Amino acid sequence: MTGDQIIIFDTTLRDGEQSPGCSMNTREKLEVARALVDLGVDVIEAGFPIASPGDFESVSQIAEKFGDRTTICALARSREDDISRAKAALVSAQNRRIHVFLATSAIHMEFKLRMDKQQIIERAVSSVKSAKEFCDDIEFSPEDAARTELDFLCEVVEKTIAAGATTVNIPDTVGYATPNHYFKVISYLKQNVPNISRAVISAHCHDDLGLAVANSLAAVEAGARQIECTINGLGERAGNAALEEVVMAIRTRADYYGVHTKINTQRLYPTSHLVSTITGMKVQRNKAIVGQNAFAHEAGIHQHGMLQERSTYEIMRPADVGYVGQNLVLGKHSGRHAFRDRVIQLGFSLDDAAIQRAFDDFIALADKKKEVYDSDILALIENRLSDAADRWRLVSFHTSAGSSAIPTATLELQCEDQPVLCDAAIGDGPIDAVFKAMERIMELSARLEEFDVRSVSEGKDAQGEVRVTIDVSGRHFQGKGVSTDIIEASAHAYLKALNKADHERRSADAARLSPQT
């Protein structure tokens, strides 16, 4: 371990979840929170409790379940009702933090808040003091800090530290900063805020210019000791700084940065996969660290070098990030014991019932497909994880199609433990017919915006992964499904997306607030 520890503050469940189409329900958030705890993040920003009853519920359940293993943080605007909701949501967390924010840039003060500088400072100070009555660990963010006049930023930071803030976060809310500029902002604070050593400086960068990770690292060089980031760089617009990139840059270039994190890097790839499955948001193939091609060396000259000495072209080993490739592991005759061992090696901690369900799926898959790869097993487990949270499930489907037939689909769906519902529809093709029948049963009308198929592993008998994005009354929802049968995978993906729309229809979450930090 080298030098100072960098605090990894994960905001996948708050800032990341605000990404269009990526909303998660409470059970899904709990799954992600569990993965983040296993990954070893220092702080989980679990949500914005005042935003909606659903947000409040998620934060309080995460606080209750994981608040003894990591710090659980709740976001609040600088308003008394926000802060008291955050306090109520965090009550059962042993380690808790309230994150208060208030805009300080001229453009926000003038157009959004209609407050002058003195009023801003008074509001920020009184909010920090109020939060401090509940817990000692308080973070304050001057929203849009990267565009805030420097001397005013220093004044706000100094006064909020004096009021009790233990972390001061400097958000580049709109993704406007560049590395050198951001370095100078953080350095200026270090030099000009007299009490700065009493708080941790935090970086929060957005990727609008593709600079979020670079800016976060520049902040570390200037003395920041917390980085706010999300798995896969999830987040509104171009997203936030990607946790896996920040962590691996710090680790791979420890020689240069001279700092370290507590992240268990072998959990990066499985966690990335889980978040992608639950949100439906795909990870691009050439994404750094966790993309499918991140460790593929195809150029002939590279392969030659790699065979002689891996470090010639490889700065990280796939195993360092828990990369799961095309390893052929198991076949039809592999026993339950071998399967369980493999699941544990892949980084999942499932209870006996969950292992049994996954094993049954595995046997069914091995019947259809000769060779089962690690990536297949990952897909099976993730399928089960993401299905558990849904109200509607697919009981059966039948399709008929051909060059001279009208494509039709007959479908059985069940909502919780109510009677099974059956309906049929015709469509442009069998998949379209399945989608239409599903909408009829669930009484939802959706527009398909994106439809994407890829194979999970190799061979003609490979499992197909289907991802869909749908539009229901102007809101976007994503879903993913995996099967050796493309129609079945499509049905699962569409049902997943419709389940999300159904969840939102039933809760008050449609009107939730989305903070800009």
Q: Which residues bind Zn ion (CB under 5 A)?
A: 15, 517
Q: Taking the alpha carbons of 455, 460, 462, 466 in that order, is the dihedral positive or negative?
A: positive
Residues with Cβ within 8 Å of residue 227, at least 6 apart in sequence: 6, 7, 8, 9, 202, 203, 216, 219, 220, 241, 246
* CB 174, min distance to Zn ion, A: 9
Cβ distance to Zn ion smaller for residue 241 or 355: 241
* 3-state DSSP percent of the chain in helix, strand and coil, to 5: 45, 20, 35
* CB 50, min distance to Zn ion, A: 17
Cβ distance to Zn ion smaller for residue 203 or 472: 203
* CB 143, min distance to Zn ion, A: 9
Cβ distance to Zn ion smaller for residue 42 or 374: 42
4-14 in b/e burial notation, b at 16+ Cβ within 10 A?
eebbbbbbbbb
Cα 131 versus chain centre, distance? 27
Cβ distance to Zn ion smaller for residue 143 or 439: 143
* CB 206, min distance to Zn ion, A: 6
* CB 500, min distance to Zn ion, A: 22
* CB 33, min distance to Zn ion, A: 19
What does the alpha-carbon distance between residue 267 and residue 324 come to, in Å, rounded to a whole number?
Answer: 11
Cβ distance to Zn ion smaller for residue 18 or 160: 18
Taking CB atoms, the residue at the shortest distance from Zn ion is 15
Would you list the DSSP string of 6-74? PEEEE-TTTTGGGSTT----HHHHHHHHHHHHHHT-SEEEEE-GGG-HHHHHHHHHHHHHHTTTSEEEE
Cβ distance to Zn ion smaller for residue 46 or 501: 46
* CB 383, min distance to Zn ion, A: 31
* CB 201, min distance to Zn ion, A: 16
239: helix, strand or coil: coil
* CB 171, min distance to Zn ion, A: 6
Cβ distance to Zn ion smaller for residue 170 or 433: 170
What does the alpha-carbon distance between residue 482 and residue 375 come to, in Å, rounded to a whole number?
Answer: 11
177: helix, strand or coil: coil
* CB 153, min distance to Zn ion, A: 17
Residues facing residue 74 across a β-bridge: 47, 98
* CB 106, min distance to Zn ion, A: 20
What does the alpha-carbon distance between residue 334 and residue 351 come to, in Å, rounded to a whole number?
Answer: 20
* CB 208, min distance to Zn ion, A: 11
Would you list the DSSP string of 265-316? GGGHHHHHHHHHHHH-PPPPTT-TTTSTTTT---SHHHHHHHHH-GGGT-SS
398: helix, strand or coil: strand
300-332 in b/e burial notation, b at 16+ Cβ within 10 A?
eeeeebeeeeeeeeeeeeeebbbbbeeeebbee
What does the alpha-carbon distance between residue 229 and residue 224 come to, in Å, rounded to a whole number?
Answer: 14
Is residue 482 within 8 A of residue 463, CB to CB? The reply is yes
What does the alpha-carbon distance between residue 247 and residue 70 come to, in Å, rounded to a whole number?
Answer: 18
Is residue 383 within 8 A of residue 351, CB to CB? The reply is no
Q: Please give the DSSP secondary-structure letter assigned to residue 512.
A: -
Cβ distance to Zn ion smaller for residue 75 or 294: 75
Cβ distance to Zn ion smaller for residue 175 or 481: 175
Cβ distance to Zn ion smaller for residue 271 or 517: 517
Cβ distance to Zn ion smaller for residue 201 or 487: 201
171: helix, strand or coil: strand
Cβ distance to Zn ion smaller for residue 89 or 203: 203
